[in-house]
Amino acid sequence: MEKWINMVEMFVTDPSREKEVDEWFQNIHMPDVLKTPGFVTAKRYVMKEPKHGRGKYIAIYEIETDDIDKTLAIRKQFMAKERELGRSSDKQFPGLFLPLWQWVVCKQVQALPKDK
């Protein structure tokens, strides 16, 4: 099974809606995305020092699948249903979709030995 990440840089155009964005992402969007077969995690990070013209948040979705094109097609179908149900926020909280990334290698620092 191949591993992928999909990243979206999120813009909150109206600072007074920051709490609304947070609630939507955590309580509506993340559960909706994770219903899509192959989408295994959804995370959101906030930029330490937001820059003008850049999104304040980045969302990272981890995907595990044998057929990424099929998985993305299913996600698009789910997104259409979410829009019909009023659960999507494409126009309210615009995002910049960044390239899809395939996992290649992972190295981990060994844990330091505990003092005896």
CATH code of 89's domain: 3.30.70.100
Residue 70: which domain range? 2-102
CA atoms of 20 and 7, how far apart (whole Å): 21
Overall domain count for the chain: 1
The answer on pLDDT for 116 being more than 60 is no
CA atoms of 51 and 111, how far apart (whole Å): 35
Sheet holding 95-102, edge to edge: 39-46, 57-65, 2-10, 95-102
28 touches 87 (CB < 8 A): yes
pLDDT tens for residues 47-93?
888 777 677 888 999 999 999 999 999 999 999 999 899 887 665 66
Residue 111 lies in a domain: no
CA atoms of 37 and 77, how far apart (whole Å): 12
pLDDT tens for residues 96-111?
666 788 887 776 777 7
